[in-house]
Structure 1
Protein backbone atom coordinates (compact mmCIF):
# COMPACT_ATOMS: atom_id res chain seq x y z
CA UNK A 1 0.00 0.00 0.00
CA UNK A 2 1.35 3.45 -0.84
CA UNK A 3 1.42 5.96 2.00
CA UNK A 4 -1.31 7.86 0.18
CA UNK A 5 0.39 11.23 0.54
CA UNK A 6 0.60 13.00 -2.79
CA UNK A 7 1.20 16.66 -3.73
CA UNK A 8 -2.04 18.30 -4.79
CA UNK A 9 -3.08 21.84 -5.67
CA UNK A 10 -6.20 23.67 -6.81
CA UNK A 11 -5.61 26.29 -9.49
CA UNK A 12 -8.18 28.55 -11.12
CA UNK A 13 -7.12 28.53 -14.77
CA UNK A 14 -7.69 31.20 -17.43
CA UNK A 15 -8.32 33.65 -14.60
CA UNK A 16 -7.47 37.32 -14.92
CA UNK A 17 -7.93 37.86 -11.19
CA UNK A 18 -8.41 35.77 -8.01
CA UNK A 19 -11.59 33.67 -7.72
CA UNK A 20 -12.16 33.94 -11.46
CA UNK A 21 -11.59 31.25 -14.10
CA UNK A 22 -12.07 27.49 -14.01
CA UNK A 23 -10.92 25.43 -11.04
CA UNK A 24 -8.74 22.38 -11.69
CA UNK A 25 -7.21 20.12 -9.09
CA UNK A 26 -3.80 18.71 -10.04
CA UNK A 27 -2.36 15.61 -8.35
CA UNK A 28 1.25 14.43 -8.78
CA UNK A 29 1.42 10.62 -8.78
CA UNK A 30 4.39 8.48 -7.79
CA UNK A 31 3.20 5.42 -9.71
CA UNK A 32 0.43 4.60 -12.19
CA UNK A 33 -2.95 4.85 -10.49
CA UNK A 34 -6.06 2.86 -11.43
CA UNK A 35 -8.80 4.70 -13.27
CA UNK A 36 -11.38 3.83 -10.60
CA UNK A 37 -9.25 5.49 -7.91
CA UNK A 38 -8.67 8.61 -10.01
CA UNK A 39 -12.39 8.79 -10.78
CA UNK A 40 -13.22 8.55 -7.09
CA UNK A 41 -10.79 11.36 -6.24
CA UNK A 42 -12.21 13.56 -9.01
CA UNK A 43 -15.72 12.86 -7.77
CA UNK A 44 -14.82 13.96 -4.24
CA UNK A 45 -12.92 17.08 -5.33
CA UNK A 46 -15.83 18.08 -7.60
CA UNK A 47 -13.92 20.37 -9.94
CA UNK A 48 -14.77 20.54 -13.64
CA UNK A 49 -11.66 18.41 -14.12
CA UNK A 50 -9.00 16.88 -11.92
CA UNK A 51 -5.65 16.29 -13.63
CA UNK A 52 -3.28 13.47 -12.71
CA UNK A 53 0.40 13.81 -13.61
CA UNK A 54 2.81 10.87 -13.68
CA UNK A 55 6.54 11.04 -14.56
CA UNK A 56 6.92 9.40 -17.96
CA UNK A 57 9.90 7.49 -16.59
CA UNK A 58 7.39 5.36 -14.65
CA UNK A 59 6.05 4.17 -18.01
CA UNK A 60 9.19 4.39 -20.15
CA UNK A 61 12.40 3.48 -18.30
CA UNK A 62 15.20 5.91 -19.09
CA UNK A 63 13.00 8.99 -19.44
CA UNK A 64 13.95 11.73 -17.01
CA UNK A 65 11.12 12.47 -14.54
CA UNK A 66 11.52 16.23 -14.91
CA UNK A 67 11.54 16.04 -18.70
CA UNK A 68 8.18 14.66 -19.72
CA UNK A 69 4.97 13.63 -18.02
CA UNK A 70 1.89 11.55 -18.64
CA UNK A 71 -1.38 13.40 -18.07
CA UNK A 72 -4.97 12.24 -17.64
CA UNK A 73 -8.14 14.24 -16.86
CA UNK A 74 -11.32 13.24 -15.03
CA UNK A 75 -14.58 15.12 -14.53
CA UNK A 76 -16.62 14.15 -11.44
CA UNK A 77 -18.31 11.57 -13.67
CA UNK A 78 -15.90 10.31 -16.34
CA UNK A 79 -12.47 10.47 -17.98
CA UNK A 80 -12.19 12.90 -20.90
CA UNK A 81 -9.76 12.83 -23.86
CA UNK A 82 -8.85 16.53 -23.76
CA UNK A 83 -9.04 19.39 -21.26
CA UNK A 84 -7.41 22.76 -21.82
CA UNK A 85 -7.85 24.48 -18.46
CA UNK A 86 -6.56 21.50 -16.45
CA UNK A 87 -3.55 21.32 -18.79
CA UNK A 88 -2.77 24.98 -18.12
CA UNK A 89 -3.21 24.26 -14.41
CA UNK A 90 -0.84 21.28 -14.71
CA UNK A 91 1.89 23.48 -16.17
CA UNK A 92 1.43 26.03 -13.39
CA UNK A 93 1.42 23.23 -10.78
CA UNK A 94 4.73 21.87 -12.09
CA UNK A 95 6.15 25.38 -11.83
CA UNK A 96 4.83 25.71 -8.28
CA UNK A 97 6.48 22.42 -7.32
CA UNK A 98 9.80 23.53 -8.83
CA UNK A 99 9.60 20.96 -11.65
CA UNK A 100 9.24 23.45 -14.52
CA UNK A 101 11.29 26.64 -14.75
CA UNK A 102 10.05 29.98 -16.05
CA UNK A 103 10.52 30.17 -19.79
CA UNK A 104 10.94 26.39 -20.07
CA UNK A 105 8.76 24.03 -22.15
CA UNK A 106 7.85 20.37 -21.69
CA UNK A 107 5.53 17.83 -23.30
CA UNK A 108 2.62 16.31 -21.43
CA UNK A 109 1.56 13.01 -23.02
CA UNK A 110 -2.18 12.38 -23.12
CA UNK A 111 -4.91 10.47 -24.90
CA UNK A 112 -4.94 13.36 -27.39
CA UNK A 113 -1.20 13.06 -28.05
CA UNK A 114 1.72 15.14 -26.76
CA UNK A 115 0.76 18.63 -25.59
CA UNK A 116 3.48 21.28 -25.40
CA UNK A 117 3.24 23.59 -22.38
CA UNK A 118 5.51 26.36 -21.14
CA UNK A 119 5.66 28.96 -18.39
CA UNK A 120 6.02 32.65 -19.09
CA UNK A 121 9.54 33.88 -18.45
CA UNK A 122 8.46 37.43 -17.63
CA UNK A 123 5.22 37.07 -15.66
CA UNK A 124 4.38 34.76 -12.77
CA UNK A 125 1.14 32.82 -13.06
CA UNK A 126 1.08 32.86 -16.86
CA UNK A 127 1.49 29.86 -19.12
CA UNK A 128 0.72 28.67 -22.60
CA UNK A 129 -0.23 25.36 -24.14
CA UNK A 130 -0.71 23.99 -27.62
CA UNK A 131 -3.91 22.04 -28.30
CA UNK A 132 -5.25 20.27 -31.38
CA UNK A 133 -8.26 21.81 -33.09
CA UNK A 134 -10.73 19.14 -34.16
CA UNK A 135 -12.32 21.20 -36.94
CA UNK A 136 -15.95 22.23 -37.40
CA UNK A 137 -18.36 20.45 -39.73
CA UNK A 138 -21.51 22.40 -40.72
CA UNK A 139 -24.53 20.61 -39.31
CA UNK A 140 -28.20 21.30 -38.55
CA UNK A 141 -28.63 21.92 -34.84
CA UNK A 142 -31.21 20.06 -32.74
CA UNK A 143 -34.58 21.74 -33.25
CA UNK A 144 -35.08 22.00 -29.49
CA UNK A 145 -32.39 24.69 -29.23
CA UNK A 146 -34.60 27.32 -30.88
CA UNK A 147 -37.24 26.73 -28.23
CA UNK A 148 -34.82 26.52 -25.29
CA UNK A 149 -32.87 29.64 -26.29
CA UNK A 150 -35.83 31.67 -27.54
CA UNK A 151 -33.81 32.58 -30.63
CA UNK A 152 -32.72 30.83 -33.83
CA UNK A 153 -28.94 30.34 -34.09
CA UNK A 154 -27.30 31.89 -37.15
CA UNK A 155 -25.57 28.61 -38.01
CA UNK A 156 -24.33 25.42 -36.40
CA UNK A 157 -21.58 22.82 -36.52
CA UNK A 158 -20.48 19.51 -35.03
CA UNK A 159 -16.92 18.40 -34.27
CA UNK A 160 -14.86 15.25 -33.76
CA UNK A 161 -14.66 16.15 -30.07
CA UNK A 162 -18.38 15.45 -29.85
CA UNK A 163 -19.21 19.12 -29.22
CA UNK A 164 -22.05 20.94 -30.97
CA UNK A 165 -21.43 24.61 -31.76
CA UNK A 166 -24.08 27.29 -32.30
CA UNK A 167 -23.40 30.85 -33.47
CA UNK A 168 -25.92 33.19 -31.85
CA UNK A 169 -27.06 36.61 -33.11
CA UNK A 170 -25.43 39.63 -31.45
CA UNK A 171 -28.65 40.74 -29.73
CA UNK A 172 -28.85 37.51 -27.67
CA UNK A 173 -27.89 38.05 -24.01
CA UNK A 174 -25.27 35.32 -23.74
CA UNK A 175 -23.79 36.73 -20.52
CA UNK A 176 -27.24 36.70 -18.89
CA UNK A 177 -28.01 33.09 -19.85
CA UNK A 178 -28.90 30.73 -17.00
CA UNK A 179 -26.48 28.03 -18.09
CA UNK A 180 -27.36 25.55 -15.34
CA UNK A 181 -31.07 25.62 -16.11
CA UNK A 182 -30.49 25.30 -19.86
CA UNK A 183 -28.12 22.37 -19.31
CA UNK A 184 -30.81 20.47 -17.40
CA UNK A 185 -33.16 20.84 -20.38
CA UNK A 186 -30.75 19.46 -22.99
CA UNK A 187 -31.48 16.02 -24.42
CA UNK A 188 -29.68 13.57 -26.69
CA UNK A 189 -26.15 13.87 -28.07
CA UNK A 190 -25.97 17.62 -27.47
CA UNK A 191 -25.61 16.87 -23.74
CA UNK A 192 -21.99 15.80 -24.39
CA UNK A 193 -20.96 19.36 -25.17
CA UNK A 194 -22.69 22.48 -26.44
CA UNK A 195 -20.78 25.64 -27.35
CA UNK A 196 -22.88 28.81 -27.64
CA UNK A 197 -20.85 31.66 -29.13
CA UNK A 198 -21.22 35.15 -30.54
CA UNK A 199 -19.12 38.09 -31.67
CA UNK A 200 -18.30 40.90 -29.28
CA UNK A 201 -18.84 44.39 -30.63
CA UNK A 202 -15.70 46.45 -31.14
CA UNK A 203 -17.02 49.11 -28.77
CA UNK A 204 -14.11 49.36 -26.39
CA UNK A 205 -16.20 47.76 -23.61
CA UNK A 206 -15.12 44.15 -24.22
CA UNK A 207 -13.46 42.20 -21.40
CA UNK A 208 -9.68 42.08 -21.69
CA UNK A 209 -7.30 39.15 -21.45
CA UNK A 210 -3.65 39.96 -20.76
CA UNK A 211 -4.40 43.49 -21.94
CA UNK A 212 -6.12 42.50 -25.22
CA UNK A 213 -9.86 43.14 -25.80
CA UNK A 214 -11.93 40.02 -26.44
CA UNK A 215 -13.18 39.41 -30.00
CA UNK A 216 -15.83 36.80 -29.20
CA UNK A 217 -17.44 35.08 -26.24
CA UNK A 218 -18.86 31.62 -25.58
CA UNK A 219 -20.60 29.48 -22.97
CA UNK A 220 -20.02 25.71 -22.70
CA UNK A 221 -22.56 23.22 -21.34
CA UNK A 222 -21.79 19.52 -20.88
CA UNK A 223 -24.29 17.81 -18.58
CA UNK A 224 -23.50 14.48 -20.23
CA UNK A 225 -19.98 14.74 -18.82
CA UNK A 226 -21.23 15.65 -15.36
CA UNK A 227 -20.68 19.40 -15.89
CA UNK A 228 -23.79 21.56 -16.16
CA UNK A 229 -21.63 24.49 -17.22
CA UNK A 230 -17.86 24.61 -17.54
CA UNK A 231 -16.69 28.08 -16.42
CA UNK A 232 -13.80 28.51 -18.90
CA UNK A 233 -13.07 25.83 -21.52
CA UNK A 234 -9.73 25.66 -23.33
CA UNK A 235 -10.76 22.83 -25.67
CA UNK A 236 -13.85 24.77 -26.78
CA UNK A 237 -11.81 27.89 -27.58
CA UNK A 238 -9.20 25.80 -29.43
CA UNK A 239 -12.07 24.34 -31.46
CA UNK A 240 -13.70 27.62 -32.52
CA UNK A 241 -10.65 29.93 -32.65
CA UNK A 242 -9.75 28.98 -36.27
CA UNK A 243 -13.25 30.01 -37.39
CA UNK A 244 -12.87 33.37 -35.68
CA UNK A 245 -9.39 33.79 -37.17
CA UNK A 246 -10.92 33.31 -40.62
CA UNK A 247 -13.77 35.74 -39.91
CA UNK A 248 -11.46 38.44 -38.55
CA UNK A 249 -8.60 37.70 -40.98
CA UNK A 250 -6.08 37.42 -38.17
CA UNK A 251 -3.94 34.64 -36.75
CA UNK A 252 -4.55 35.76 -33.15
CA UNK A 253 -7.95 36.21 -31.52
CA UNK A 254 -9.08 36.69 -27.93
CA UNK A 255 -11.91 34.65 -26.46
CA UNK A 256 -13.94 35.36 -23.34
CA UNK A 257 -16.30 33.09 -21.39
CA UNK A 258 -18.98 35.09 -19.51
CA UNK A 259 -19.94 32.30 -17.12
CA UNK A 260 -20.65 33.25 -13.50
CA UNK A 261 -16.92 32.88 -12.73
CA UNK A 262 -15.68 34.25 -16.06
CA UNK A 263 -12.30 34.11 -17.74
CA UNK A 264 -10.60 34.05 -21.10
CA UNK A 265 -7.55 33.36 -23.21
CA UNK A 266 -5.52 34.55 -26.16
CA UNK A 267 -5.69 32.06 -29.07
CA UNK A 268 -3.02 31.86 -31.78
CA UNK A 269 -3.37 29.71 -34.90
CA UNK A 270 -0.10 27.95 -35.70
CA UNK A 271 1.11 26.84 -39.13
CA UNK A 272 0.73 23.22 -37.99
CA UNK A 273 -3.02 23.75 -37.54
CA UNK A 274 -2.67 23.51 -33.77
CA UNK A 275 -3.84 26.31 -31.48
CA UNK A 276 -1.67 28.01 -28.88
CA UNK A 277 -3.62 29.23 -25.85
CA UNK A 278 -2.15 31.86 -23.54
CA UNK A 279 -3.70 32.32 -20.13
CA UNK A 280 -3.20 33.09 -16.47
CA UNK A 281 -3.89 31.05 -13.36
CA UNK A 282 -4.27 31.60 -9.64
CA UNK A 283 -3.17 29.14 -6.95
CA UNK A 284 -6.14 28.68 -4.60
CA UNK A 285 -4.81 25.99 -2.27
CA UNK A 286 -1.73 23.80 -1.89
CA UNK A 287 -1.66 20.59 0.12
CA UNK A 288 -1.29 16.82 0.28
CA UNK A 289 -3.78 14.23 -0.84
CA UNK A 290 -4.17 11.38 1.64
CA UNK A 291 -5.84 8.53 -0.20
CA UNK A 292 -4.06 5.28 -0.94
CA UNK A 293 -4.51 2.58 -3.53
CA UNK A 294 -3.02 -0.85 -3.95
CA UNK A 295 -0.03 -0.80 -6.30
CA UNK A 296 -1.30 -3.92 -8.04
CA UNK A 297 -4.56 -2.17 -8.93
CA UNK A 298 -2.96 0.14 -11.50
CA UNK A 299 -4.32 -0.19 -15.03
CA UNK A 300 -2.52 0.16 -18.34
CA UNK A 301 -1.36 3.76 -18.96
CA UNK A 302 -0.17 3.00 -22.50
CA UNK A 303 -2.70 5.57 -23.77
CA UNK A 304 -0.22 8.24 -22.65
CA UNK A 305 2.94 6.75 -24.15
CA UNK A 306 4.60 8.66 -27.02
CA UNK A 307 3.98 7.17 -30.43
CA UNK A 308 6.70 5.95 -32.80
CA UNK A 309 9.08 8.66 -33.92
Structure 2
Protein backbone atom coordinates (compact mmCIF):
# COMPACT_ATOMS: atom_id res chain seq x y z
CA UNK A 1 0.00 0.00 0.00
CA UNK A 2 1.30 3.45 -0.94
CA UNK A 3 0.49 6.56 1.05
CA UNK A 4 0.48 10.05 -0.42
CA UNK A 5 0.27 13.31 1.51
CA UNK A 6 -2.84 15.30 0.64
CA UNK A 7 -3.52 19.01 1.05
CA UNK A 8 -6.54 21.09 0.12
CA UNK A 9 -5.70 24.76 -0.29
CA UNK A 10 -7.88 27.79 -0.97
CA UNK A 11 -5.82 29.72 -3.53
CA UNK A 12 -6.21 33.44 -4.24
CA UNK A 13 -7.70 33.97 -0.79
CA UNK A 14 -6.50 34.72 2.73
CA UNK A 15 -9.72 33.29 4.18
CA UNK A 16 -11.16 29.79 4.36
CA UNK A 17 -13.99 29.24 1.85
CA UNK A 18 -12.71 32.02 -0.43
CA UNK A 19 -10.77 31.88 -3.67
CA UNK A 20 -10.41 28.60 -5.52
CA UNK A 21 -9.85 25.26 -3.81
CA UNK A 22 -7.24 22.88 -5.21
CA UNK A 23 -5.99 19.50 -4.09
CA UNK A 24 -2.21 19.10 -3.86
CA UNK A 25 -0.31 15.80 -3.70
CA UNK A 26 3.49 15.75 -3.34
CA UNK A 27 4.93 12.55 -4.82
CA UNK A 28 8.29 10.84 -4.42
CA UNK A 29 8.05 9.57 -8.01
CA UNK A 30 5.47 9.73 -10.78
CA UNK A 31 2.56 7.33 -10.54
CA UNK A 32 0.85 6.01 -13.70
CA UNK A 33 -1.25 8.63 -15.48
CA UNK A 34 -4.37 6.52 -14.95
CA UNK A 35 -3.77 6.59 -11.19
CA UNK A 36 -3.25 10.36 -11.19
CA UNK A 37 -6.51 10.86 -13.09
CA UNK A 38 -8.43 8.55 -10.78
CA UNK A 39 -7.03 10.39 -7.78
CA UNK A 40 -8.18 13.70 -9.26
CA UNK A 41 -11.61 12.22 -9.87
CA UNK A 42 -11.78 11.00 -6.27
CA UNK A 43 -10.77 14.44 -4.97
CA UNK A 44 -13.52 15.98 -7.15
CA UNK A 45 -11.95 19.42 -7.18
CA UNK A 46 -11.56 21.57 -10.26
CA UNK A 47 -7.84 20.64 -10.30
CA UNK A 48 -5.37 18.47 -8.46
CA UNK A 49 -1.69 19.46 -8.61
CA UNK A 50 0.93 16.72 -8.44
CA UNK A 51 4.64 17.45 -8.10
CA UNK A 52 7.92 15.56 -7.79
CA UNK A 53 11.28 16.99 -6.71
CA UNK A 54 13.87 17.34 -9.47
CA UNK A 55 17.45 18.55 -9.73
CA UNK A 56 16.27 22.02 -10.78
CA UNK A 57 13.27 22.31 -8.47
CA UNK A 58 10.00 20.46 -9.00
CA UNK A 59 8.17 18.82 -11.89
CA UNK A 60 4.51 19.89 -11.83
CA UNK A 61 1.37 18.49 -13.47
CA UNK A 62 -2.32 19.35 -13.19
CA UNK A 63 -5.37 17.10 -13.59
CA UNK A 64 -9.07 17.89 -13.70
CA UNK A 65 -11.65 15.16 -13.21
CA UNK A 66 -11.59 14.76 -17.01
CA UNK A 67 -7.94 14.84 -18.07
CA UNK A 68 -4.49 16.33 -17.63
CA UNK A 69 -4.43 20.02 -18.58
CA UNK A 70 -1.70 22.29 -19.92
CA UNK A 71 -1.76 25.05 -17.28
CA UNK A 72 -3.53 25.91 -14.03
CA UNK A 73 -2.84 29.04 -12.03
CA UNK A 74 -4.68 28.45 -8.77
CA UNK A 75 -3.37 24.89 -8.39
CA UNK A 76 0.17 26.22 -8.96
CA UNK A 77 -0.38 28.76 -6.19
CA UNK A 78 -1.69 25.92 -4.00
CA UNK A 79 1.32 23.71 -4.78
CA UNK A 80 3.73 26.55 -4.02
CA UNK A 81 1.90 27.24 -0.74
CA UNK A 82 2.38 23.60 0.30
CA UNK A 83 6.09 23.64 -0.61
CA UNK A 84 6.75 26.89 1.25
CA UNK A 85 4.67 26.07 4.31
CA UNK A 86 5.20 22.33 4.84
CA UNK A 87 8.31 21.11 2.99
CA UNK A 88 10.93 23.37 4.61
CA UNK A 89 11.78 25.01 1.30
CA UNK A 90 14.63 27.45 2.03
CA UNK A 91 14.41 29.90 -0.89
CA UNK A 92 11.91 32.61 -1.83
CA UNK A 93 11.43 31.36 -5.43
CA UNK A 94 10.27 27.91 -6.54
CA UNK A 95 11.08 26.73 -10.07
CA UNK A 96 8.65 24.33 -11.69
CA UNK A 97 9.17 22.31 -14.86
CA UNK A 98 5.98 21.51 -16.78
CA UNK A 99 5.14 19.32 -19.77
CA UNK A 100 3.26 21.86 -21.88
CA UNK A 101 4.28 25.44 -21.03
CA UNK A 102 7.92 25.08 -20.07
CA UNK A 103 9.42 26.48 -16.89
CA UNK A 104 7.34 28.42 -14.36
CA UNK A 105 8.32 30.18 -11.16
CA UNK A 106 6.51 31.24 -8.00
CA UNK A 107 8.02 33.83 -5.68
CA UNK A 108 6.96 34.48 -2.08
CA UNK A 109 6.86 38.00 -0.66
CA UNK A 110 5.22 38.02 2.75
CA UNK A 111 1.77 36.47 2.44
CA UNK A 112 1.67 36.89 -1.35
CA UNK A 113 2.71 34.30 -3.92
CA UNK A 114 3.46 35.57 -7.42
CA UNK A 115 3.22 33.35 -10.49
CA UNK A 116 5.50 34.00 -13.47
CA UNK A 117 3.49 32.74 -16.46
CA UNK A 118 3.64 33.08 -20.24
CA UNK A 119 1.41 35.83 -21.64
CA UNK A 120 -1.30 34.66 -24.04
CA UNK A 121 -2.68 36.81 -26.81
CA UNK A 122 -6.18 36.71 -28.25
CA UNK A 123 -7.49 37.63 -31.68
CA UNK A 124 -10.94 39.03 -32.54
CA UNK A 125 -13.20 36.35 -33.97
CA UNK A 126 -16.59 36.06 -35.63
CA UNK A 127 -19.67 36.27 -33.48
CA UNK A 128 -20.86 32.83 -32.40
CA UNK A 129 -24.65 32.69 -31.94
CA UNK A 130 -24.37 29.75 -29.52
CA UNK A 131 -21.97 31.73 -27.35
CA UNK A 132 -24.32 34.70 -27.08
CA UNK A 133 -27.33 32.47 -26.56
CA UNK A 134 -25.79 30.46 -23.74
CA UNK A 135 -24.38 33.54 -22.02
CA UNK A 136 -27.79 35.21 -22.31
CA UNK A 137 -26.42 38.44 -23.78
CA UNK A 138 -27.26 40.50 -26.84
CA UNK A 139 -24.66 43.25 -26.44
CA UNK A 140 -20.91 43.12 -25.93
CA UNK A 141 -17.80 45.14 -26.70
CA UNK A 142 -15.59 42.45 -28.20
CA UNK A 143 -15.27 38.71 -28.67
CA UNK A 144 -11.80 37.24 -29.08
CA UNK A 145 -10.30 33.77 -29.03
CA UNK A 146 -6.99 32.35 -27.86
CA UNK A 147 -6.58 29.45 -25.50
CA UNK A 148 -10.16 30.32 -24.41
CA UNK A 149 -12.92 32.57 -25.64
CA UNK A 150 -12.77 36.10 -24.24
CA UNK A 151 -16.02 38.09 -24.14
CA UNK A 152 -15.73 41.74 -23.12
CA UNK A 153 -18.82 43.43 -21.66
CA UNK A 154 -19.39 47.07 -20.79
CA UNK A 155 -19.77 46.93 -17.02
CA UNK A 156 -18.95 44.93 -13.90
CA UNK A 157 -22.67 44.64 -13.16
CA UNK A 158 -23.24 42.86 -16.48
CA UNK A 159 -20.55 40.32 -15.59
CA UNK A 160 -21.97 39.77 -12.10
CA UNK A 161 -25.52 39.38 -13.38
CA UNK A 162 -24.76 36.64 -15.92
CA UNK A 163 -26.70 33.40 -15.37
CA UNK A 164 -25.39 31.36 -18.32
CA UNK A 165 -26.20 27.89 -19.57
CA UNK A 166 -22.60 26.82 -18.98
CA UNK A 167 -22.82 23.23 -20.20
CA UNK A 168 -24.64 24.45 -23.30
CA UNK A 169 -21.31 26.02 -24.30
CA UNK A 170 -19.63 22.63 -24.60
CA UNK A 171 -19.95 22.33 -28.42
CA UNK A 172 -17.68 25.39 -28.73
CA UNK A 173 -14.79 23.24 -27.52
CA UNK A 174 -13.21 25.91 -25.32
CA UNK A 175 -13.61 27.53 -21.94
CA UNK A 176 -15.23 30.98 -21.83
CA UNK A 177 -13.96 34.01 -19.93
CA UNK A 178 -16.20 37.07 -19.55
CA UNK A 179 -14.67 40.36 -18.44
CA UNK A 180 -15.37 44.08 -18.05
CA UNK A 181 -13.86 47.20 -16.48
CA UNK A 182 -14.13 47.08 -12.71
CA UNK A 183 -15.68 49.62 -10.39
CA UNK A 184 -13.01 49.34 -7.68
CA UNK A 185 -10.61 47.13 -9.67
CA UNK A 186 -8.95 47.64 -13.04
CA UNK A 187 -10.98 44.74 -14.40
CA UNK A 188 -13.23 41.91 -13.27
CA UNK A 189 -13.98 38.52 -14.78
CA UNK A 190 -15.81 35.21 -14.54
CA UNK A 191 -14.70 31.91 -16.07
CA UNK A 192 -16.96 29.11 -17.32
CA UNK A 193 -15.90 25.50 -17.84
CA UNK A 194 -18.49 23.58 -19.89
CA UNK A 195 -18.35 19.84 -19.33
CA UNK A 196 -16.18 20.03 -16.21
CA UNK A 197 -17.22 18.98 -12.71
CA UNK A 198 -16.84 22.59 -11.56
CA UNK A 199 -18.83 24.52 -14.14
CA UNK A 200 -17.74 27.98 -13.02
CA UNK A 201 -14.16 28.23 -11.86
CA UNK A 202 -14.05 30.49 -8.77
CA UNK A 203 -10.65 32.12 -9.50
CA UNK A 204 -8.67 31.28 -12.63
CA UNK A 205 -4.99 32.18 -12.67
CA UNK A 206 -4.41 30.85 -16.18
CA UNK A 207 -7.18 33.05 -17.58
CA UNK A 208 -5.27 36.07 -16.34
CA UNK A 209 -2.39 35.07 -18.60
CA UNK A 210 -4.85 36.11 -21.32
CA UNK A 211 -6.65 38.92 -19.45
CA UNK A 212 -3.56 40.84 -18.36
CA UNK A 213 -2.19 41.52 -21.88
CA UNK A 214 -5.66 42.49 -23.10
CA UNK A 215 -6.36 44.94 -20.28
CA UNK A 216 -2.77 46.14 -20.10
CA UNK A 217 -2.93 47.24 -23.72
CA UNK A 218 -6.43 48.66 -23.41
CA UNK A 219 -5.76 50.58 -20.19
CA UNK A 220 -2.17 51.51 -20.99
CA UNK A 221 -1.01 49.91 -17.75
CA UNK A 222 1.56 47.34 -16.74
CA UNK A 223 0.39 46.97 -13.12
CA UNK A 224 -3.26 46.20 -12.37
CA UNK A 225 -5.52 44.88 -9.63
CA UNK A 226 -8.16 42.38 -10.72
CA UNK A 227 -11.02 40.50 -9.11
CA UNK A 228 -12.79 37.37 -10.26
CA UNK A 229 -16.40 38.01 -9.23
CA UNK A 230 -17.55 34.43 -8.74
CA UNK A 231 -19.53 33.43 -5.65
CA UNK A 232 -16.27 32.71 -3.77
CA UNK A 233 -14.27 35.46 -5.45
CA UNK A 234 -10.60 36.35 -5.29
CA UNK A 235 -8.15 39.22 -5.75
CA UNK A 236 -5.16 39.09 -8.08
CA UNK A 237 -2.23 41.48 -8.36
CA UNK A 238 -1.27 41.63 -12.02
CA UNK A 239 1.81 42.78 -13.91
CA UNK A 240 2.36 42.71 -17.66
CA UNK A 241 5.96 42.20 -18.76
CA UNK A 242 5.78 41.67 -22.52
CA UNK A 243 5.65 37.96 -23.20
CA UNK A 244 5.32 37.17 -19.46
CA UNK A 245 2.73 38.02 -16.83
CA UNK A 246 3.06 38.09 -13.06
CA UNK A 247 -0.03 37.02 -11.13
CA UNK A 248 -0.04 37.48 -7.37
CA UNK A 249 -2.39 35.93 -4.83
CA UNK A 250 -2.63 34.61 -1.30
CA UNK A 251 -3.45 31.09 -0.11
CA UNK A 252 -4.69 29.32 3.00
CA UNK A 253 -4.72 25.65 3.98
CA UNK A 254 -8.11 23.99 4.49
CA UNK A 255 -7.24 20.32 4.96
CA UNK A 256 -4.22 18.06 5.47
CA UNK A 257 -4.51 14.28 5.20
CA UNK A 258 -3.30 11.03 3.69
CA UNK A 259 -4.28 9.18 0.53
CA UNK A 260 -4.06 5.38 0.78
CA UNK A 261 -3.48 3.60 -2.54
CA UNK A 262 -4.13 -0.13 -2.34
Counting strand residues as a fraction of each chain, which structure ranks higher?
2
SS at match of 1:165: strand
Match of 1:92 in 2: 81
Moved over 3 A (4+): 224-227
Match of 2:113 in 1: 127
Match of 2:167 in 1: 184
SS at match of 1:48: coil
Q: Mark the structure with the bigger radius of gyration.
A: 1
Q: Tell me by how many angstroms 1:172 deviates.
A: 5.0
State TM-score, norm by structure 1.
0.80
1:221 matches 2:219: no
Of residues 237, 241, 248 in structure 2, which corresponds to 1:278?
A: 248
CA distance in 2, matches of 1:141, 1:33: 43
1:221 and 1:195, CA in 2 relative to 1: closer, same or farther beyond 3 A? same
Match of 2:181 in 1: 199
Match of 1:156 in 2: 143
Of residues 151, 154, 165 in structure 2, which corresponds to 1:166?
A: 151
CA distance in 1, matches of 2:5, 2:47: 17
Match of 1:30 in 2: 28
Q: Tell me by how many angstroms 1:225 deviates.
A: 4.3
Question: How large is the Cα RMSD of the aligned pairs?
Answer: 1.7
What do the CA deviations read for 1:202-251 (whole angstroms, capped 9, x no partner)?
xxxx2xxxxxxx21111111124443111100010111111111122111
Of residues 201, 204, 208 in structure 2, which corresponds to 1:237?
A: 208
Q: Tell me by how many angstroms 1:291 deviates.
A: 1.7
Of residues 209, 223, 230 in structure 2, which corresponds to 1:252?
A: 223
What number of residue pairs does the alignment pair up? 260
In the alignment, is the contact (CA less than 8 A) between 2:8 and 2:24 conserved in 1?
yes
Match of 1:20 in 2: 18
Of residues 220, 226, 232 in structure 2, which corresponds to 1:261?
A: 232
Match of 1:53 in 2: 51
What do the CA deviations read for 1:259-283 (whole angstroms, capped 9, x no partner)?
1111121111124x10011100110
1:171 and 1:107, CA in 2 relative to 1: closer, same or farther beyond 3 A? closer
Long gaps (5+) in structure 1 = 57-62, 207-213, 293-309
In the alignment, is the contact (CA less than 8 A) between 2:167 and 2:195 conserved in 1?
no
State TM-score, norm by structure 2.
0.93
CA distance in 1, matches of 2:35, 2:108: 30
Long gaps (5+) in structure 2 = none
CA distance in 2, matches of 1:27, 1:8: 5
In the alignment, is the contact (CA less than 8 A) between 1:192 and 1:225 conserved in 2?
no
CA distance in 2, matches of 1:278, 1:150: 31
In the alignment, is the contact (CA less than 8 A) between 1:91 and 1:100 conserved in 2?
no
